């Protein structure tokens, strides 16, 4: 079971209490009626779906109920850091990053084994 | 004479548990869901006659009322007593003239009291929280998950908990607690 640090409850809690809530730091256009369909699609539908480090919104729905931001590695599933909603995108502390990279090398992923097969 | 409709609790008449964890239905209580910004907490505390806790996972009790911290701007306030429902929680919140939201949820929730040396183990059957005294002291509280349903947990003594659960989930919660109580006795 993953433990996720809630920045509002100020402690690690079981993943069972949380819900994923999509990519973080997507700003709603200031004047949404003025933008083109392409710009709307970019804002509303298109997401980066990055492999590796991603910034996501999570919600401690069965806890304090708050939304917050999390930096997560989608390869290792490791949460690198979490911080309160409303804060700008936070840089990953270098020691956390180094630890995550070291861990990532040891994580066996489906993509990794598939890569070997080719 | 016309029959009078009697309101019964969702789990009226239930009783259960095991040799290490007793399950009992809590008395009817008045409850409000309270939302307010940090700046307005002192005024609401004064109106309610108890200091709303502002530290995560803590509760505060005074004058027969208990306020449970659920989130940074959210509390569950429970008033128990022989009077049962109608102790004036909502009326008191209206004395605070600061912006807030107070919703009566007395009948939305019911509560199961779990007590005995196996109480924590029974709850941990479906709840992932660390219920050791170091992590979850007497008076600690939290909204959390119990199996498939959401609960609000309050530790009332070293070996006793109050499990607040939505009324429509209460049969499920009681059933799973009963299984947990039996497992804790093995
Ligand atoms: Zn939280």
CA B151–ligand 1 middle distance (angstroms)? 14
A106 torsion bin: left (phi>0), alpha (psi -120 to 50), beta (else): alpha
pLDDT score recorded for residue A118: 44
Inside any domain, residue B129: yes
B67 conformational bin, left if phi > 0, alpha if psi -120 to 50, beta if neither: beta
Average pLDDT over residues A96-109: 70
Residue from the list A8, A11, A16 with its beta carbon closest to the beta carbon of B72: A8
B4 has a pLDDT exceeding 90:
no
More confident residue, A88 or B1: A88
**pLDDT top residue among B81 and B57:** B57
pLDDT at A80 over 80: yes
E strand map for chain B:
16-17, 22-25, 30-35, 59-62, 65-71, 74-79, 101-104, 109-115, 141-146, 149-157, 160-166
B15-37 pLDDT, tens per residue? 899 999 999 999 989 999 999 99
Which helix (H) or strand (E) element contains residue B185? Answer: helix B170-185
Tell me what ipTM this predicted complex has: 0.91
Identify whether B128 is part of a domain: yes
Q: What is the pLDDT of residue A98?
A: 80
Average pLDDT, chain B: 94
Residue A117 placed within a domain:
no
Tell me the mean pLDDT in the region A97-110.
68
| Domain-embedded: residue A115 | no
- Tell me the whole-structure pTM to 2 decimals: 0.89
Tens of pLDDT, residues A45-79:
999 999 999 999 999 999 999 999 999 999 999 99
B67 confidence band (pLDDT: 50, 70, 90): very high
Identify whether the C-beta of residue B34 lies closer than 8 Å to the C-beta of residue B101: yes
Size of interface A-B (CB pairs under 8 A): 40
Considering only CB atoms, which chain B residues are within 8 Å of A17?
128, 144-145
Interface check B145 vs A, CB under 8 A: yes
In the DSSP assignment, the letter for residue A66 is: -
What is the reported pLDDT for A90? 94
Which 3 state secondary structure label does DSSP give A102? helix
Q: For the residues A71-91, what does the mean pLDDT come to?
A: 94
CB contact under 8 A, B144 and A1: no
In this structure, is residue B134 part of a structural domain? yes
What span, in angstroms and rounded, lies between the C-alpha atoms of A72 and A93? Answer: 13
What is the extent of the structural domain holding B28? Answer: 22-184
**C-beta contacts of A107-114 below 8 A and 24+ residues apart:** A107/A75, A107/A76, A109/A75, A111/A51, A111/A75
Please name the residue of chain B whose CA is at the shortest distance from the CA of residue A13. B129
pLDDT tens by residue, B136-173: 999 999 999 999 999 999 999 999 999 999 999 999 99
Domain at B69, CATH number: 3.30.1360.120
- How many structural domains compose chain A? 1
What totals of helices (H) and strands (E) does chain A contain, helices first?
3, 6
Residue A54 inside a domain? The answer is: yes
Contacts for A49-53: CB closer than 8 Å, 24+ residues apart:
A50/A74, A51/A75, A51/A111, A53/A80, A53/A92
Q: According to the model, what pLDDT value does residue A116 have?
A: 53
| Chain A partners within 8 Å of B56 (Cβ) | 8-11, 64
Query: The tokens of A98 are what?
Result: 């180094």
CA distance B144 to chain A (A): 5
Total domains, chain B = 1
User: Please, what sign has the CA dihedral across residues A105, A110, A111, A112?
Assistant: positive
pLDDT at site A111: 58
Instruction: Report if residue A116 sits inside a domain.
Output: no
Whether A85 is in a domain gets the answer yes
List the CATH number of the domain containing A79.
Answer: 3.30.2270.10
Each residue of B80-106: pLDDT tens digit? 764 555 668 999 999 999 999 999 999
């Amino acid at each position: 079971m993953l433990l996720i640090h809630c920045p509002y409850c100020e402690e690690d809690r079981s993943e069972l209490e949380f819900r994923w809530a999509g990519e973080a730091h997507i700003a709603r256009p200031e004047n949404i009626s003025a933008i083109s369909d392409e710009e709307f699609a970019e804002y509303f539908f298109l997401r980066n779906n990055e492999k590796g480090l991603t910034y996501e919104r999570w919600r401690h729905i069965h806890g304090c109920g708050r939304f917050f931001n999390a930096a997560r590695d989608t390869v290792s599933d490791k949460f690198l850091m979490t911080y309160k909603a409303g804060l700008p995108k936070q840089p990953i502390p270098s020691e956390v990053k180094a630890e995550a990279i070291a861990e990532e090398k040891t994580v066996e992923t489906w993509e990794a084994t598939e890569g070997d097969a080719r | 004479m016309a029959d009078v409709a009697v309101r019964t609790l969702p789990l009226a008449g239930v009783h259960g548990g095991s040799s290490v964890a007793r399950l009992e239905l809590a008395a009817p209580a008045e409850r409000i869901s309270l939302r307010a910004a940090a700046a307005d907490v002192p005024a609401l505390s004064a109106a309610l006659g108890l200091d709303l806790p502002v530290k995560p996972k803590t509760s505060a009790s005074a004058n027969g009322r208990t306020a449970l911290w659920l989130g940074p701007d959210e509390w569950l306030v429970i008033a128990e007593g022989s009077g049962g429902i109608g102790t004036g929680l909502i009326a008191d919140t209206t004395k605070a003239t600061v912006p807030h939201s107070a919703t009566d949820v007395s009948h939305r929730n019911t509560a199961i009291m779990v007590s005995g040396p196996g109480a924590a183990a029974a709850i941990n059957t479906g709840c992932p929280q660390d219920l050791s005294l170091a992590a979850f002291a007497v008076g600690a509280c939290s909204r959390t998950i119990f199996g498939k349903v959401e609960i609000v947990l309050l530790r009332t003594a070293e070996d006793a908990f109050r499990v607040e659960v939505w009324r429509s989930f209460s049969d499920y919660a009681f059933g799973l607690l009963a299984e947990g109580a039996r497992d804790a006795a093995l």
